[in-house]
Chain A
C-alpha cells in the first residue's frame, strides 16, 4: 500500500505520460545507433614490440598495450550504457503508457517497474561516467605476439 507521498512520487515520475511515441522512438534509436557504433569501433592494438628494442621503447609498448585494452573495454562499456539508457526509456514508456496515474492500485503496480527504470538509468550513468577507462584492471593478453 503506497502512502500519499509515494503516490505523489510515482505520479511525478510518471509525468510525461503524454510524451509522443515518436519522441520515445527517436531517443531510443539515437542511443541504440550510437551504441552499435561504439561496439563496431575497432581500436587498433599496439604491441610491446612496436617501438623497437630499447628499454624505453619497451616501456612505451607495455603502456600502449594497456591503454589499448582499456580503450577497447571502454568502448564496450559505453555501448552497453547507451543501450541500457535506451532500455530504461523503453521500459519507462511501456510502464507509464495507458496509465492515468489516478488510481492507487495502478500506482502500486507500476512502482516496481519504475524502480527498475531508475536503477537502469543509474547503472548506465555510473558505467559511462566513471573517470577511469575500461574496467580499471589490466589483464595481460595471451602471448600471441605484439598485437600488430
Chain B
C-alpha cells in the first residue's frame, strides 16, 4: 500500500498531535480566565467596601487621600485583570478550536481506506503455433476489462482520498494560523516563529513563504530535534512511526524561464551578398530585441520596433538627413531619369553627404546592381539578409535606373516597399523599416511623375517617413493618409501593378 502525497502529508500533520490534551488545556485556560475576572470583581467589591464600608454603609467607609489612592489602584488592577482574563479565555477558545479540528482530522484520516493498487493486467503469452480459441480471446478480453475497471476504481478512490486529505491539511493550517494571534495577545511578544517577510527573489532562489522556525530559536522542548520545517526536510522530530519526508507544499515552483524569443529566421534562403564588401557595422541598440518571425508576406506590421539594421542599411538613417541624402542621390538619379526637377533634387540631396561613412557608398553599388532585380524580382528585395536588405533599400535607386516609365517606377517602388517592409518586419518590425517601405513605395509612384518625387522616395527609403515628406504638400498629405493604412495595400498595389509592368 502506498499512500498518496496528500495523505502522507496529513499524517505528518497529525503525528504527535494531542487533541485531547489541547482540549483540556483550552478548558483550563478558560477557567483561569474566569478566575481572573472573578478576582477583578472581588477587587471592585473590596473597593466598594473601602468607599462605603460594611453593613450597608452604616459603619462608614474609609475616606481621605489614602482611601482615594486605594480606590484608584483597585480600579486599575481590576480593569487590567478583566482584560487579561478575556485574553486567557480567548487563548483557551483557540486551543479548543484547534483540538476540535485535529480530532476531526484524525477521525477523517482514520476513516480513509488503505487503498491497494490492483496489479496491472498482463496478457498471456501466446503459444507459438497454437492460435487462441475464440473463447480464450473472449475470456482474456473480460479479464482485461475487469482489470481496467479495477484500476480505474482505484485511481478514483485515491484521487478522492487525496482531495480529502488536502482539504484537512488546509483546515489544520488555517486553524493553526488563526490560533497564533490569541497566543500572541497573551504573551505580548513578537512571534519568534514568524517567517521573515518575503522578498522578491530571483527565479534561481525562490523565497520560502513559510519557514519552520526562526533561526536561532530552536524548539525549547527538544533541542536535539531536527528541523520541523516542510521545506523538504523531515517534519517529525519525535518518534512518530515511519519517517516521513515531506515535500514543501508551499514552495513555489521554480518559475519557468521566459522563453527566449526565437531568433528571426529568414523563411527564404539568404542569398550570398553579391557585393563582397563587408557589411558596415552600425551601432546597435543594446535593448533591441529580435522581432517576431515573419514570412515575406509581411503581414505582421503591427507591434514593430525600430530596427537600426533595417533602417540603416539602405541609406544610413543613423546619420540623419545627410546620410539619407545618399539614397537621395541614388534616387536623384532616378529623378534625373524621370525629370529635371528630379535631377535637381538628386543633386541637392546627394551632393554633400554621399562620401560620408562607409554605408553611403555601398548602397549605391548595391542599388545599382539590385535595381534590375528590385524592379522585376521580388525575392531580391525580400530575402531579408543584410545584403538583401541593402538590396531592398537600393531598390529605390533601381527606380532611378529604370527608364522612368510610370509602370517600371511603380514596380520598383513597390518592390522597394516590399523589401523594406520585409526587412522591417524581419529585422525588428521597426517603424523605420515600415516607414521606409511606405515611403519607398510612394517615392516610386511619384518617381513616375517627377524627379522631385523620386527624390522624396529616396528619402523615404533612406530615412523613413520624415524624409518622405519631400513631395508636394498635397501628396504629402495623401502619403500621410496612406501611411496610416496597413501595408497590405502595398501588396495589393503590387499585384495590381505587376500586370501593368508586363503590359
A residues bordering B, Cβ < 8 Å? 9, 12-16, 18-20, 22-23, 26-27, 30-31, 34, 37-38, 41-60, 62-67, 69-71, 74-75, 78, 81-82, 85, 88-89, 92, 114, 117-118, 121-122, 124-125, 128-134, 136, 138, 140-141, 143-148
Contact = CB atoms under 8 A, between A and B. Distances in A.
Nearest to A43: B32
B186 A23 contact: no
Nearest to A140: B220
A128 B83 CA distance: 11
B18 interface: yes
A55 B58 CA distance: 63
B330 interface: no
Interface string B194-225: 00000000000000001111000101111100
Contact of B74 (A14, A69, A85, A118): A85
Contacts of A54: 12-13, 169, 172-173, 176, 228, 230, 235
Contacts of B35: 37-38, 41
A20 B49 CA distance: 11
Contacts of A125: 72-73, 76-77
Contacts of A82: 39, 43, 77
Contacts of A134: 187-188
Contact of A67 (B65, B66, B186, B228): B186
B221 A58 contact: no
30 contacts: A15-B66, A20-B60, A23-B54, A26-B54, A34-B39, A41-B32, A42-B28, A49-B238, A50-B22, A51-B17, A53-B13, A55-B210, A55-B235, A56-B173, A57-B13, A57-B17, A58-B228, A60-B177, A62-B192, A70-B188, A71-B29, A71-B91, A82-B77, A92-B66, A118-B69, A129-B79, A136-B188, A138-B187, A141-B220, A146-B222
B32 A49 contact: no
Contact of B176 (A23, A57, A92, A146): A57
A41 B98 CA distance: 23
B143 interface: no
Interface string B74-103: 101101110110011001000100100010
Given A22-B54, A43-B29, A85-B73, A57 B172 contact: yes
A12 B67 CA distance: 10
A12 B73 CA distance: 18
Interface string B216-253: 01011111000011100001111010001000000000
Given A65-B220, A74-B84, A124-B73, A49 B183 contact: no
Given A15-B64, A55-B235, A50 B17 contact: yes
B54 A51 contact: no
A56 B213 contact: no
Contacts of A147: 221
Contacts of B72: 125
A25 to B, nearest CB: 10
Given A59-B176, A129-B77, A15 B65 contact: yes
Contact of B73 (A50, A51, A63, A122): A122
A55 B230 contact: yes
Interface string B31-75: 010011001001101100110011000011111111101101110
Chain A interface, >50% SS class: helix
Contacts of A37: 35, 39
A67 to B, nearest CB: 4
A85 B237 CA distance: 48
Nearest to B230: A55
B25 interface: yes
A52 B64 contact: no
A15 B63 contact: yes
Given A66-B183, A143-B221, A14 B176 contact: no
Contact of A56 (B88, B176, B186): B176
Interface string B158-198: 00000000000100110011011011101111011100000
Given A49-B238, A51-B22, A27 B66 contact: no
Given A48-B219, A52-B102, A14 B64 contact: yes
A62 B194 CA distance: 11
A64 B91 contact: yes
B395 to A, nearest CB: 69
Contacts of B213: 58-59, 62
B14 interface: yes
B183 A60 contact: yes
Given A38-B36, A67-B187, 8 more contacts: A27-B49, A50-B17, A54-B12, A58-B228, A59-B177, A67-B91, A71-B186, A81-B77
B81 A128 contact: yes
A14 B67 CA distance: 9
A50 B18 contact: yes
Contact of A53 (B66, B223, B240): B240
B268 interface: no
Interface string B407-451: 000000000000000000000000000000000000000000000
Contact of B43 (A34, A42, A56, A138): A34
The 7 A-B pairs of least Cβ separation, nearest first, read: A15-B64, A52-B17, A140-B220, A67-B186, A63-B183, A125-B73, A56-B176
